[in-house]
Structure 1
Amino acid sequence: MSKATNITWHAATVTKTDRRVQNGHGSCVLWFTGLSGSGKSTIANAVSSELYRQGINEYVLDGDNIRHGLNRDLGFSDYDRTENIRRIGEVAKLFVDSGAVVTTAFISPFRSDRDQVRALFKKEEFIEVYVECPIEECERRDPKQLYEKARRGEIKDFTGIDSPYEAPERPEITIRSDLLHVEDAVGQIFQYLQQKNII
């Protein structure tokens, strides 16, 4: 619920459809979700690079990067996690309205938060990509030594250790990152985008 009063929605002169026609492709959000270390950012950036190579307007919203700026006032309590995802959903919607394919790489551990973001978009515009990876493999990779710190009690409310991760029940795409090379994951996602006539 907005706290602001006396505000009115102003319709844009140039529409989302206009931008899509000019771009020659559709727009959507690829919402990557999964445990820390599952490969979300790696795959999201690989998809972004290939979209760019093909001349498709794209942008990556990455969890850590966003917390350096827009969401630097948020911690990792359940409330802050929910607000983090709410804000990103609204930003992603702006990118989709601009005619871009936006990839987001966020743990986004709570199913209800992801569902609230999904509700912001038309059906074909929100593509949930579950980067599935056993926690044992994520811990083995542990590129930031976060699991190690969480196990020692140095990080509280860490997803998968002392805070839950609710896996998607019906994601549009599931990537088994412990079994697939990055290039194969990108190919799987591109196949989906082509089948849906987004690119």
Structure 2
Amino acid sequence: MESNLHWHSSFVSKTERQVLKGHKSFVIWFTGLSGSGKSTIANNLERRLYQKGITTYLLDGDNVRHGLNQDLGFNEQDRKENIRRIGEVAKLFVDSGTIVLSAFISPYRLDRDSVRKLLEDNEFIEVFVNCPIEECERRDPKDLYKKVREGEIKEFTGISAPYEAPVNPELVIKTDKDTIEECVDKITNYLLDNGYI
């Protein structure tokens, strides 16, 4: 079917927006099990970058489901659509010259790779927040693992639904071994060493 939609180019380019803001724009995509520390690390990193005068925006899985993706459930198809939409939003932010911190379980490798393909080279940094499920369940900040064990939640990533860990992420952080500060230092150093900030 032929579409009547056309992309309207802006008179201000992504590069010009980046120059105005004084830094590159890209996505830092945090992936890992529920309770691994994705949102905590992303929030602390955002504070660190803000203190350096860097423009960021945090897209958090729970927050996005309150608005943009409130019509989606947690079956495989809805999870894929959730990540597709987030990828498109993240791309718009990158085009605006903003660094996007994206904290989503995003359990499927193919979905994360699809977001990477939306962006240009070196605009997608995958951070695997690697934490053993036993530790995630011990933390259980939202009582989700408890609800799974009590049969209230049927499809839950890492227990009754799959989680496909990244094969070649740009960074792996281990929140069961390192402090929040050490994890944020590791990511900040990566950004500095690779000329992102």
CA distance in 2, matches of 1:162, 1:196: 38
Q: How far has the Cα of 1:128 moved from its partner?
A: 0.3
- 1:89 and 2:81 equivalent? no
Pairing partner for 1:11 from 3, 9, 12: 9
Equivalents in 1 of 2:86, 2:126: separation in Å? Answer: 14
* Distance in 1 of aligned mates of 2:112 and 2:90: 12
SS in 1 for 2:97: coil
Q: Is the 8 A contact 1:62 1:104 kept in 2?
A: yes
* Matching residue of 1:112: 110
CA distance in 1, matches of 2:155, 2:86: 20
The 5 Å alignment of 1:81-160 reads: 81-160=79-158
Render the CA deviation track for 1:158-185: whole Å, top value 9, x for unaligned: 1011001000000001001101101111
Deviations along 1:72-96, one digit per CA (max 9) or x if unpaired, are 0000010000000000000001111
| Separation in 2, partners of 1:61, 1:91 | 9
**Structure 1: gaps of 5 or more residues:** none
State the distance in 2 between where 1:29 and 1:182 align.
Answer: 20
Deviation at 1:151, TM superposition (A): 1.3
Deviates most, 65-74 or 152-161 = 152-161
Shift of 1:4: 8.2
Residue 111 of structure 1 contacts residue 167 of structure 1 at CA under 8 Å; is this kept in 2?
A: yes
The answer as to 2:50 corresponding to 1:52 is: yes
- Which whole-Å CA distance do the structure 2 matches of 1:7 and 1:176 have between them? 45
Deviations 1:105-133 (A, max 9, x none): 00000001001111001120000000000
CA distance in 2, matches of 1:89, 1:156: 26
| Residue number among 174, 177, 186 corresponding to 1:188 in the alignment | 186
Percent identity over the alignment?
62
Aligned residue pair count: 197
Is 2:60 aligned against 1:42?
A: no
- 3-state secondary structure, aligned to 2:118: coil
CA contact (8 A) 1:151 1:161 kept: no
1:151, 1:191 → 2: CA distance?
39
Segments ≥4 residues shifted beyond 6 Å: none
Distance 1:46 1:97 in 2: 24
| Partner residue, 2:174 | 176
Q: Secondary structure at the match of 1:194?
A: helix
Q: Distance in 2 between matches of 1:54 and 1:30?
A: 17
- Evaluate the alpha carbon distance shift between residue 48 and residue 12 of structure 1 in structure 2; reply closer, same or farther with a 3 A threshold: same
Aligned-residue RMSD, C-alpha: 1.0
Q: Which residue of 1 aligns with 2:65?
A: 67
Per the normalisation by structure 1, the TM-score is 0.97
SS for the counterpart of 1:64 is helix
In structure 2, distance between residues paired with 1:132 and 1:123? 24
Unaligned runs of 5+ residues in structure 2 are none
